[in-house]
Amino acid sequence: MGLIGQTISLFLTVLYVLLLARVLISWFRPRYKTSRNGWFFSLEELTWRATEPMLAPIRRILPQSGMIDFAPLILFFLLRVLQSLVLSIFR
């Protein structure tokens, strides 16, 4: 696989990990935010800024489902499909 294929695959893997981190942070977020300067909140902001531009259009398309957000699940699927396509094209 060429350098372009590896770079795209690495980028998609990083997006996948950031999305997974965002989901886990949303589950285990401290109930009361005492300080906005901690490393946890910086990580939360990083994952939000990196993934929200991809999640927002999916949320607009999906119907409301109450408290459960299915947009990350769909984005996980789309990222894996895209990575499979990249790997098959550049092999």
d(CA 70, CA 76): 10
- Taking only the tens place, the pLDDT of each residue in 29-58 is 765 555 555 666 678 888 999 999 999 999
Question: Residue 90: which pLDDT band, with cuts at 50, 70 and 90?
Answer: confident
Check pLDDT > 90 for residue 60.
Answer: yes
Whole-prediction pTM: 0.82
82: amino acid identity, one letter: L
Q: What is the predicted pLDDT for the residue at 38?
A: 65
Check pLDDT > 60 for residue 84.
Answer: yes
Q: What is the predicted pLDDT for the residue at 39?
A: 61
- Residue 1 near residue 84, CB atoms below 8 Å: no
Check pLDDT > 70 for residue 2.
Answer: yes
